[in-house]
Amino acid sequence: MHPHRKLRRLPVTAVPAVIAGLTLLGSTALPTSAASAYDLRLRAWGQNTNGQLGDGSTKAVRLSPISVVGLSGAEVNGIAAGGTASGSGASAVQTGFALALMGNGTVEAWGRNDKGQLGNGASSTSDEWSVPSLVPGLTGVEAVAAGGSHALALLKDGTVRAWGLNDKGQLGDGTTTDAKLPVTVAGLDEVQAIAAGDAFSMALLKDGTVKTWGSNDKSQLGITPKGAPATPAAPASRTTAVAVPELNTVKSITAGATHALALLADGTAVAWGNNDKGQLGDDTVVNKSYPVPVLGLKKVSALSAGASHSLALLEDRTVRGWGLNTNGQVGDDTVTQRNTIVPVAGLTGAIAIASGASHNLAVLADGTVKAWGLNDKGQLGDGTVLQRNTPIQVLAKSGSVSLIAAPSNGQFSLAR
């Protein structure tokens, strides 16, 4: 059979699924006995030109949720969605891939693999896998993250593995050589969380500090202290992890395509990197090479970020948005760019959020999923390609949905 077959014999035992692009308020996973087999399926919708929906096809789009082949949802502990975009207008090229962290600590991957982002040892310019396939030699995984064309896995021993595109040092192994199989991120231990942007990576350490590596073309590494000389003095990229100055009380991290967010222990948030569309929420459109406060944001429980917008889930289970809003991705029923936070209209009871390039997902406490923003590839999953400037329901109440993911620079969605 061809080495990067489109279909495979399904394993007797399911492999564990991955957790990236997910932000949860508490634990919302329910016991298997509380939901039907249908409820527990891993589902996907939106763009599928690279097989990133995992349904065994490369049908261009899926406007409604379909099942990922061969993965028992009950075995999936986490999901991550990656992808990138190049060009603009009719000539734009978008790619996508996905990861699933399974209960046994292994990882499965599917979708685009031209840069080795599936970690299975194969890659070519036309390499695509439309059903999940095991990332070999990777065990003991606790969390995963997916970037533009690279992926990260946090192991239970606190170290990190990476694979895929490495042209900007986003794998953190001290080189700029792509990796088709997982490599060790150099000099990292005591890691408790990971995040991946389009071409950069982040790690939150157990002491509350943050390290970043990869591309720094938009100051997304956050490693130039306030008051220090700006570009060209700032490095264009870093091939190994570097500490973000003056951050030591971080609870969680989130990576957009070219900007980053961190939730602090006091419930506030800081941001850095690309700010051309106000995605840092500091009431400017000036890039920041160091963390700045997101203005007016308090009592935050979770954060998510897309290509040029950001979201915050608050303790009261409402959501705030800011940044680019051309496609309604801020969710305030306008298409007006927001350089400071505004409420997402009509959204209450949210327990998890995830952001794609120009769309968002939210899980509500009753197990329903809502979505808003760009919908040209069916990424909202409501059966249409109509843009939604406020949240609409995607998945009905099932009592089991607790995991969601979307690529910060891509156009599809995952839910389980």
Per-residue DSSP letter, 380: T
Q: Reduce the DSSP state of residue 74 to 3 states and report it.
A: helix
First vs last C-alpha separation in the chain: 31
Give residue-wise pLDDT tens across range 23-57. 333 323 333 334 455 557 899 999 999 999 999 99
Question: Is 364's pLDDT higher than 90?
Answer: yes
Q: How confident is the model at residue 126 (pLDDT cuts 50, 70, 90)?
A: confident
Q: Which of 413, 287, 298 is nearest to 360 (CA)?
A: 413
3-state helix, strand, coil in the chain (%, to 5): 0, 40, 55
Other CB atoms closer than 10 Å to residue 179's CB: what's the count? Answer: 23
pLDDT score for 264: 98
Question: Is 11's pLDDT higher than 80?
Answer: no
**Containing H/E element for 161?**
strand 160-164
Instruction: Locate 174 and state its tokens.
Output: 């001290």
pLDDT score for 319: 98
Annotated domain spans of the chain: 23-415
Q: Which of 195, 148, 200 is nearest to 171 (CA)?
A: 200
* Pair 364, 409: CB distance under 8 Å: no
CATH 2.130.10.30 fits 23-415, yes or no: yes
Q: Which of 162, 221, 204 is nearest to 186 (CA)?
A: 162
Other CB atoms closer than 10 Å to residue 26's CB: what's the count? Answer: 9
Give residue-wise pLDDT tens across range 102-124. 999 999 999 999 999 999 998 77
Contacts for 301 with CB less than 8 Å, ≥ 6 apart:
23, 25, 263, 313, 314, 315
